Amino acid sequence: MGVSGCGKSTLGSLLGTALDAPFLEGDDFHAPEAVAKMRAGQALTDDDRWPWLDRIGVAANAAITDRGRTVIACSALRAAYRARLRAAMAAPVRFILLENSRERLLARLAARADHYMPTSLLDSQLATLERPDEDEGAMILTTDADPCALRDAALRWLR
């Protein structure tokens, strides 16, 4: 979990491979209208996000039923979003928050080619982000490290 550009897809893909688990890219579950809205520089609202989270939850639960586990890259910015995802799945859910400085995130977003998320929306995502509290039991990683080192740290924590 985390804002756009933090490395969710990179780490999620690495974890999926290491855990022999299906990897679900949250961006693939956005409605075309939501993608168009973001492409136009408009931040999503809760009403935009609820159906998206529900689609991710259904797909994740199906993957869990089929393979026993899954890895998901999803912003999950608010505690309520994380609660909704947990409620959709018939297995324990763990979250890893990936974070970095605003400047580093902006540089990563600017370097991406062919992605609908403009750098202008980063500040709205940072403002929306509710860091997990201790009750959520989430791991927090700063993504300045090599992705494989982040994967290894996450695997140690998950196991």
Whether 1 is in a domain gets the answer no
Whether 19 is in a domain gets the answer yes
In this predicted structure, what is the pLDDT of residue 118? 72
This model's pTM is above 0.85? yes
Alpha helices per DSSP H over the chain:
8-19, 32-39, 46-67, 79-88, 102-111, 122-128, 147-158
Domain count, the chain: 1
| pLDDT tens by residue, 67-122 | 999 999 999 999 999 999 999 998 999 999 999 999 999 888 887 777 677 788 88
| pLDDT tens by residue, 119-146 | 888 899 999 999 999 899 899 999 989 9
In this predicted structure, what is the pLDDT of residue 115? 67
Whether 69 is in a domain gets the answer yes
Whether 104 is in a domain gets the answer yes
Whether 2 is in a domain gets the answer no
Whether 117 is in a domain gets the answer yes
Query: Residue 80 is part of which domain span?
Result: 8-158
- Beta-carbon contacts of 67 under 8 Å, excluding residues fewer than 6 positions away, are 21, 22
CATH code of the domain containing 108: 3.40.50.300
C-alpha span between 35 and 101 (Å, rounded): 25
Whether 3 is in a domain gets the answer no
